[in-house]
Structure 1
Amino acid sequence: MTLLLVQLGMILMFLLLGWAMLQREAYWLISGFSTRPKEEQEELIANGFPQRTGKLMIATAVGMVLLMPLYWTSFAYTFEVQFGFMLVFLMGGLIYLSKYEVPKKRKRSYIISTSLFVVVIGALGVLEYIAYQDYELIARGQSFEITGVYGDEWPYQEVTKVELLDEMPEVTFKQDGFGMSTIAKGRFKVKDYGSSLLFIRKETSPILYIEMGKKKIFINAKTPERTTEWFEELKSKTRD
């Protein structure tokens, strides 16, 4: 629901920006437009640059609206697809709009917008890879380790509670981490538990809960059987 509200807010923002540019000629909403010399502003308007920018905002919103029905299907990556469409369409559109720049700034505009596109897409690709990187719980002789980003190693003597929960308690908000459509990894606030470290695949249960004083960890595996194995391993080690 939170992701849906975020998407609706973005759609409304794009629609309002596009409407303001097309219907109210609020070209000052375009970054840097109001600080340009009067001659350049007039040339840009004559070329149709600000008008096409408004149309780009509206087209982006319409595309996001057309993808909204995915939220009511079993498709697990709706947020990623919608956000990816918005980013690629919007930034690709800005590269295209460079052809309507004033001639003396056209080449620079192409270079800047294309470079920005490559950097942003590349950075998001790396973040997506990290977010969906697999993790494991490994029981060792004197400690257990959770692999991957946000993972660490903890001695069994610090463990005060190990439980197998039927479902994940309510997560109230993210503090530091990745909250994707199908995975939550990092630090989150959990109702009745407070700040907790999550390694959760949202479509899978049960959930292994590990408590070490004030430190709380929720984790599950790709299959219920593997999560249960982790629980039995930790339970036997912490009884020793």
Structure 2
Amino acid sequence: MWGMAAVQLFIILLFLLFAWAIRRKKAYWLISGFSTRPKEEQQELIENGMPQKTGTLLLVTAVGMLMLLPLVFTRFHFAMEVQFGFMLVFLLGGFIYLSKYEIAKKRKRSYLFSSLLFIGTIGLVIGLYFAGYQDYELKIAGEKFEITGLYGDEWQTSDIKEVQLLDKMPEVTWRENGFGLATMSKGRFTVEGYGSSLLFIRKDAPPYLYIELEGQHIFINGKTPSETESWHQSLRKTIQPAP
């Protein structure tokens, strides 16, 4: 919670700093592409008020994110998604609005580019979140077991070194490659005491099934405690006793 709040606060302060530098100190070089334009275009953009409007956009975005920051400290599970979504939609929508202050001969192209960027980015983010929230399942077939869905794979049951049912999920300290969503963690994360691990976890939904393989750690739980317990029992039955 505090880590997420710190990251969001850093972004807010960065936006405020950029807004102050652009609006008060006329650091227009901070605006992407501005410093590479011909002097005539730069002057026309300044006369149109485009740099100042860009600074205002960053300022209002920062203020909006600051107002949403207290959500992180509540029981609301989707605080990160709401704040990130606000930032993305407001900024990208703002870039479309700023196209009206572009120089006349480039205004139409700017509208088109900004609109396509908005649609493409929002579509990509929605697609990623959909993929992240896709369901998964643990399946056992003969001498193999499989975890379905994104980041899933197939392993030999003979490679299992240990299977445990945990009442509490160990602390996850770092996301290496995966989705750290409001109610689900899926992908590769660093787990305290275990190191790099593969997670398929519905948050705050114990128990958690821990599977140790050669050089690999997996944490997974089902939709219900009974489903997780069933996976645990099924895996234990497949483990061959040592000769």
Tell me if TM exceeds 0.5: yes
Q: Which residue of 1 aligns with 2:184?
A: 183
Identity %: 58
User: Following TM superposition, by how much is the alpha carbon of 1:2 offset from its aligned partner in structure 2, in angstroms?
Assistant: 2.1
1:140 partner amino acid: A
Q: Which residue of 2 aligns with 1:111?
A: 112
Q: TM-score, normalised by structure 2?
A: 0.95
Aligned-CA RMSD value: 1.2
Q: Which residue of 2 aligns with 1:224?
A: 225
1:136-159 residue CA offsets vs partner (Å, 9 max, x unmatched): 111222221111011112121111
12-21 vs 34-43, which moves further: 34-43
User: Following TM superposition, by how much is the alpha carbon of 1:239 offset from its aligned partner in structure 2, in angstroms?
Assistant: 4.9
Matches within 5 A, 1:14-163: 14-163=15-164
Tell whether the 8 Å contact from 2:158 to 2:240 is kept in structure 1 after alignment.
no
- Secondary structure at the counterpart of residue 228 of structure 2: helix
Separation in 1, partners of 2:7, 2:142: 45
1:106-126 residue CA offsets vs partner (Å, 9 max, x unmatched): 011111111111111111111
Tell whether the 8 Å contact from 2:133 to 2:184 is kept in structure 1 after alignment.
yes
Separation in 2, partners of 1:97, 1:16: 20
1:17-39 residue CA offsets vs partner (Å, 9 max, x unmatched): 11111111111110111111222
1:168-202 residue CA offsets vs partner (Å, 9 max, x unmatched): 11222122111122211111111221111111111
Structure 2: gaps of 5 or more residues: none
Structure 1: gaps of 5 or more residues: none
- Secondary structure at the counterpart of residue 127 of structure 2: helix
Q: Which residue of 2 aligns with 1:173?
A: 174
1:52 partner amino acid: K
User: Following TM superposition, by how much is the alpha carbon of 1:222 offset from its aligned partner in structure 2, in angstroms?
Assistant: 2.0
